[in-house]
């Protein structure tokens, strides 16, 4: 019998001072059986960075033809394709042909090795940015993880300040490419 995904709900109060975007969101997201909690948190963080009513979790791990998160224009074309992890350069190249903007969030301990191998090819792609978050900075969010996530997220100068379970956690996002 195949394992099923674990469903999570997230109540997010996003105050993005960099984009002047302030909104509350109720989201549902699934933790695929082969996905780690670290990856789930990374997906939620990058969702917060680009929060928008039209930003959606895609099939991600369940489909090789879809990103982890995406946003479509009203006419159906892909406005923003977001990958989480360490995709091959060919996958990012394909995404850059399909979407107006591509973002990759690298979050694992092996991201330096991945960037050394894939970085030059990805850096050459148009409208593509690669962001990085230190994997150890995700630990406090994983420790307090339950199936009903409630975060207050303030974004300022590229850093996320997350209040959950009465503690404030700072997550710094750095860019490996020019925006």
d(CA 113, CA 109): 9
Q: Look at residue 179 in the predicted model and tell me its pLDDT.
A: 55
CATH number at residue 94: 3.10.640.10
Tell me if 98 is assigned to some domain: yes
Q: Look at residue 65 in the predicted model and tell me its pLDDT.
A: 82
Q: Look at residue 177 in the predicted model and tell me its pLDDT.
A: 87
Q: Look at residue 2 in the predicted model and tell me its pLDDT.
A: 62
pLDDT digits (tens, 9 = 90+) for 77-108: 999 999 999 999 999 999 999 999 999 999 99
Q: Look at residue 64 in the predicted model and tell me its pLDDT.
A: 72
Q: Look at residue 4 in the predicted model and tell me its pLDDT.
A: 85
Compute the average pLDDT of residues 127-145.
94
Q: Look at residue 158 in the predicted model and tell me its pLDDT.
A: 85
Better-predicted residue by pLDDT, 179 or 40: 40
For the chain, how many structural domains are there in total? 1
Answer whether 170's CB lies under 8 Å from 156's CB: no
Note the maximum CA span of the chain: 47
Tell me if 26 is assigned to some domain: yes
- Please calculate the CA angle 141-147-149 and round it to the nearest 5 degrees: 50
Tell me if 1 is assigned to some domain: no
d(CA 130, CA 178): 8
Tell me if 48 is assigned to some domain: yes
Q: Residue 98: CB partners within 8 Å, gap ≥ 6?
A: 78, 81
Tell me if 59 is assigned to some domain: yes
d(CA 31, CA 41): 10
Domain containing residue 129: 6-175
pLDDT digits (tens, 9 = 90+) for 145-159: 999 999 999 999 989
Q: Look at residue 61 in the predicted model and tell me its pLDDT.
A: 58
pLDDT band (50, 70, 90) for residue 59:
confident
Tell me if 83 is assigned to some domain: yes
Report whether pLDDT(127) > 60.
yes
Single out the residue of 170, 69, 174 nearest to residue 115, CA to CA: 174
């Amino acid at each position: 019998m195949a394992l099923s995904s674990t469903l999570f709900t997230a109540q997010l109060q996003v105050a993005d001072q960099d984009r002047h975007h302030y909104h509350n969101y109720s989201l549902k997201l699934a933790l695929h059986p082969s996905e780690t909690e670290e990856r789930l948190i990374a997906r939620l963080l990058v969702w917060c960075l680009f929060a928008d009513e039209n930003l959606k979790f895609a099939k991600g791990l369940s489909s090789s033809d879809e990103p982890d998160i995406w946003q479509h224009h009203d006419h159906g074309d892909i406005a923003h394709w977001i990958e989480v992890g360490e995709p091959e350069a060919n996958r990012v190249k394909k995404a850059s042909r399909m979407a107006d903007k591509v973002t990759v969030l690298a979050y694992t301990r092996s991201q330096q090795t991945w960037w050394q191998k894939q970085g030059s090819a990805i850096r050459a792609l148009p409208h593509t940015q690669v962001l990085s978050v230190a994997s150890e900075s995700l630990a406090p969010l994983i420790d307090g993880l339950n199936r009903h996530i409630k975060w207050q997220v303030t974004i300022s100068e590229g850093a996320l300040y997350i209040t959950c379970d009465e503690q404030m956690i700072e997550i710094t996002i750095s860019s490996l490419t020019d925006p």
